[in-house]
Structure 1
Amino acid sequence: MVMQGTDMKVAETPTGQLEDFRIPDAYEDWLESEGVMVHKTFYIPNWHEVEVGPWERKGGEGAVVHIDNALLPNDLHVVDIKPGGKSEPEHHMYEINFYIVSGRGATTVWMDESSKQTFEWRTGSLFTIPLNSWYQHFNGSGDEKVRFMAPTNAPPMMRLFRDTDFMFNNDFMFRSRYSDDE
């Protein structure tokens, strides 16, 4: 069949079942490889009661909360740090913010070993980490755990780049987002 007034051919309408053109979901694959507890839900009534499990990357216990919809841009990490404990140092190519649900402590942020900065926080504190900067959290209490929740834009970033090595082992420094000035 030719489109009227042109020499362009019109494709025939498929009559059978269309093949599934979806590709594997890099974000869902990452969650599975992390072995982290995942809560797919629209509502959390009490952030103090979210069930967590071992999460090696975070150096403690944690969970990921997200709405089961690949078009939504955020997830949320819930992490506990034991009394007197610390998280594992990490950096990544997605944005992250922190809200301290309970406890007190400090966070060290750096781009290189010579530019480490540390600040303190407590229940109710809200802060962000510059993109791809290294950071590590420390529980300042010997008696109570720290719990934080951290919304991220990891889902779309992982789906865009589809490469965990790029996401977690990228040495690029976003100097416009980080200053080691006091």
Structure 2
Amino acid sequence: MDHGPTAKWQEPTDQKTKAGYGKFLRPKTPYDIFMEEQEIPIYREIGVRRVQDLPRKPWKRMGGNGTFIQLLGTEGLWGCYLVEVPGAGALNAEKHLYEELYLVVEGRGSTEVWTEGNGKKLTFEWQ
């Protein structure tokens, strides 16, 4: 299309080039890619009424059923997930380089925390 000073304006004839029809998608972050690779549901909304109602699928890395929760507006700030501890079972042990906060919604059990090279475990019981 000619854009010189003598060119006449010509209205686009197809739907893809009309003004207002374009979509500008946010590129996937490394965390988005990580969540997709885990093969569990990703819940993306403004909020959650009851986490117990969210769909969950088996999560190999954690050893329980889980789903990621990505609240709109928090992308790139923090990650959140829901994981269901198997009845009379345990989740897989994890190593962390960061702070993690756990909220127990229902049930009871215990959590063990320890550091590498130190055999002493701290146990927290919850219900």
- After TM superposition, the score normalised by the length of structure 2 is 0.70
Cα offset, 1:121, TM superposition:
0.7
Tell which deviates more after alignment, 68-77 or 57-66.
68-77
**Separation in 2, partners of 1:41, 1:24:** 17
Letter in 2 for 1:120: E
Are 2:58 and 1:58 equivalent residues in the alignment?
no
1:37 to 30, 37, 41: 41
Q: What SS class does the counterpart of residue 102 from structure 2 fall into?
A: strand
Question: Where do 5+ consecutive residues of structure 1 fail to align?
Answer: 1-21, 123-182
CA distance in structure 2 between the partners assigned to 1:38 and 1:69 by the alignment: 15
How many residues align structurally?
102
1:13-162 correspondence to structure 2 within 5 Å: 25-69=29-73, 71-112=75-116, 113-122=118-127
User: Which structure has the larger Rg over C-alpha atoms?
Assistant: 2
Distance apart, 1:26 and its partner CA: 0.8
Aligned partner letter, 1:65: I
- What SS does the aligned partner of 1:102 have? coil
The runs of at least 4 consecutive aligned structure 1 residues that moved more than 2 Å come to: 67-72, 92-95
Partner of 1:118, secondary structure, is strand
The separation in 2 between residues aligned to 1:98 and 1:42, in whole angstroms, is 21
Label 1:51 to 1:26 Cα distance change in 2 as closer, same or farther (>3 A).
same
**Once the 2 structures are TM-superposed, how far is the Cα of residue 77 of structure 1 from its aligned partner?**
1.1
Q: Distance in 2 between matches of 1:29 and 1:72?
A: 12
CA separation of 1:26/1:72 partners in 2, compared to 1, >3 Å: closer, same or farther? Answer: closer
SS in 1 for 2:105: strand
Normalised to the residue count of structure 1, the TM-score between the two structures is 0.50
* Partners of 1:76 and 1:107 in 2: CA distance: 18
Q: Residue 54 and residue 71 in structure 1: after superposition, are their counterparts in 2 closer, same or farther (change >3 A)? A: closer
Distance in structure 1 (CA, Å) of the matches to 2:111 and 2:68? 21
Structure 2 gap ranges (5+): 1-25
Higher helix share: 1
Question: How big is the alpha-carbon RMSD for the aligned residues of Structure 1 and Structure 2?
Answer: 2.2
| TM-fit CA distance, 1:93 | 2.4
For residues 29 and 121 of structure 1, do their structure 2 counterparts lie closer, same or farther at Cα, with a shift above 3 Å needed?
same
